[in-house]
Amino acid sequence: MIALRISVPALLITLAASCVFSFPAVGQMVKANDDVLPDSRVPGWLQDRPLGLTYGYYSPYEGSGELLPSIGLASDYGSATSAGSAPQTMPSIDIPVVSQENFRFGVSANLWGAIDGTGAKDGLEALYPSLSAGIWGVVGIESIAVDAKILGKVWSPEEFTNAREGYEAQVGLTLYSPMMRLGGGRFVDLSVRADLTMADDSYMDQHFGISDAEALSAGLEAYTAGAGLKSAGLSIGTSVPLTRNFELQGSAGLLQLLDHAAASPWVIERGELTDIWGNLGFAFRF
């Protein structure tokens, strides 16, 4: 009995101390993405992050009016600052350089794919791939965030005589809200994003302009597209937890061409002013 009276208070003190010291550590691990706890086998940057695949349909290029199947990586819709990079209409690989709770800044890179002279651009000169790079940043809280990104061509092989050129920039606003609580005590995540994309004259004229030679071969009017607003986007993304670790994901959106891009003869006569996209996926959240 003496041993029991001594061990019970000791046990209560131990449990209380464990709670005091472990709760802040767990909160810090999930929200600040610091190094893992000593007893965790998951790196801090991966804590509470999803890993999985999505399958969806996207337009091969703006204004095409076509949809092609595509496989991609799962996205994180757990807050406004993380969800903004998922539904945006100017995707890239974004590497953080500065990462704080309410502010992140980094560098971006992307491969601008080839655009063949087929479909809505039949008879127009094909555009070859090029490597683009730039910077990005996001500032906000869990429920609302503003982000910006600029990307431009940095390199293409010399053999590509008509590689994709120019710069494009985007600003976006993302709203996030947790919905009903489901599997594993987690909430359904819901994010909505609106954005505006601008481009310089090199990008606009190459992608939406029509030279005199192209006008003859394609049977369209010659057209020069100048710098300015290129498109506006609206999208929604959600994750639905099945258990603490497994979730279903989905996102959908539309992109509306504006100004000089919307006035291009090949867009008006053969393409579409509005492109839509969407995907569904499955992910494991650490």
What is the chain's pLDDT, residue by residue, as a tens digit (286 residues)? 333 334 434 433 443 444 433 333 333 333 333 333 444 677 766 777 889 999 999 999 999 999 999 999 899 888 888 887 888 888 899 999 998 989 999 999 999 999 998 999 999 999 999 999 999 999 999 999 999 999 999 999 999 999 999 999 999 999 999 998 887 788 999 999 999 999 999 999 999 999 999 999 999 999 999 999 999 999 999 999 999 899 999 999 999 999 999 999 999 999 999 999 999 999 998 8
Predicted confidence at residue 136, as pLDDT, reads 96
- The pair phi, psi for residue 8, each rounded to 5°, is -65, -50
Predicted confidence at residue 5, as pLDDT, reads 39
Rounded alpha-carbon distances, angstroms, from residue 72 to 6, 55, 272: 58, 6, 24
Structure-derived torsion over alpha carbons of residues 212, 214, 216, 218, reported in degrees to the nearest 10: -150
**Residue 216: other Cβ atoms inside 10 A:** 11
**Residue 180: other Cβ atoms inside 10 A:** 7
Predicted confidence at residue 44, as pLDDT, reads 67
Predicted confidence at residue 43, as pLDDT, reads 74
User: CA Rg, the chain, in Å?
Assistant: 24
Predicted confidence at residue 8, as pLDDT, reads 38
What single DSSP character describes residue 125?
Answer: P
Is the Cβ–Cβ distance between 258 and 232 less than 8 Å?
A: yes
Structure-derived torsion over alpha carbons of residues 25, 28, 29, 32, reported in degrees to the nearest 10: -160
Predicted confidence at residue 9, as pLDDT, reads 43
**Residue keyed to tokens 């949809």:** 67
Predicted confidence at residue 45, as pLDDT, reads 65
